[in-house]
Structure 1
Amino acid sequence: MNKIKNFKCECGGDVLKLDDGYECTMCKLKVYNKFMNYKLSDEQIQKLFYSDMIECNNIKLNDGYIINAQIYSSS
C-alpha cells in the first residue's frame, strides 16, 4: 500500500493505492480502479472520494454491446 501524495478523501483521511484500487485510511471507502473492463482515470477516482457521480462512456461489454454508465460513491 502506498500513500498518494496530496490525495485526500472527503472525510479528511489519506488515500492509499492498493493493487486493485484505492482506499481511505479513515472511513475505509474503497474505490476499485476498473468497472466492467473500463479502467477509471485518476480524475474519476478522485471524484468518487468526494461523493461525486462519474460518467463512463463507451464501455464495451463481453458480448460486444457498448453502454454508458453512471457510477456513484457509496460513502
Structure 2
Amino acid sequence: MGIWLYPAIITGVLLLAWSYYVTMRVAKETEQQATTEDTPIHEAIKDHPFLLNPIIVMYFIMNLFLGIIIFYYWATTSY
C-alpha cells in the first residue's frame, strides 16, 4: 500500500458524498415544481454557478490533490 492510498480513498468518498448531495437536492427541487416548463434560474445557482456543479468541484479537488502529491515528491526528492 502506498502512502497516498488512504488520502485518495477519503477524497473519493468526499467527492461522492458531495455529488450525491447536490444531485438529490436538484432532484428534490425538480419534483416540487408544479410544471415541466422551464423556470427562472434559482438565485443560489446565479450566485455560485460552479459550486453547485459536482463535476467542476471534482476537477478542482482532483487538481488540488495532485498538486499536493507533486509538491510532496518534489520536496522529498534530492539529487
Q: Which has the higher helix share?
A: 2
TM-score by length of 2: 0.20
TM-score by length of 1: 0.21
Q: Which has the higher strand share?
A: 1
Point out the structure with max Rg over C-alpha: 2
**Larger relative CO (CA 8 A, sep 6+): 1 or 2?**
2
